[in-house]
Structure 1
């Protein structure tokens, strides 16, 4: 067994086994938009989650529900007295 055969075996395993899920996601189309439908869906879900999270932060900020009295370092605000 030569080094060339070892590297060809690694190549064969990688292309046929490890990249198989990516080949399945291509959906067999030549269209760029159809090939990236998963990326578009994940981007939309992430954007909606970001907007929701920012809305929740704003709601808690307006209600003054967060305790802002303690800081971990003196340069972030008043340091706790020892």
Structure 2
């Protein structure tokens, strides 16, 4: 079972998080914060897009707003 967990460790440390090792060697506060700001901006744009789409469905009356619960409650 320990080989399974070592395999998960190897996947994350050596492959998935490998691009972040670049920032450790650069030791640049500005580069690290730039990456964080890029992710924040992408998340904000995605949230604005999603809210706009929800408003379109809400304005068209396509949203099911009936109050129902499960049959087992």
Give TM-score scaled by structure 2 length: 0.57
Query: Given the alignment, which residue of 53, 56, 74 partners 2:53?
Result: 56
Question: CA RMSD for the aligned pairs?
Answer: 3.0
Gaps of 5+ in 1: 1-13, 74-79
State the number of aligned residues: 58
Q: Point out 4+ residue stretches in structure 1 off by more than 4 angstroms.
A: none
1:47 CA drift (Å): 0.4
Gaps of 5+ in 2: 1-8
| Per-residue deviation, residues 15-63 of structure 1 (Å, max 9, x unmatched) | xx92772322x07434312123222211111000000000111111111
Inter-partner Cα distance in structure 2 for 1:61 and 1:30: 48
Higher Cα radius of gyration: 1
Per residue, is there more helix in 1 or in 2?
2
Do 1:27 and 1:35's aligned partners in 2 also have CA atoms closer than 8 Å?
Answer: no
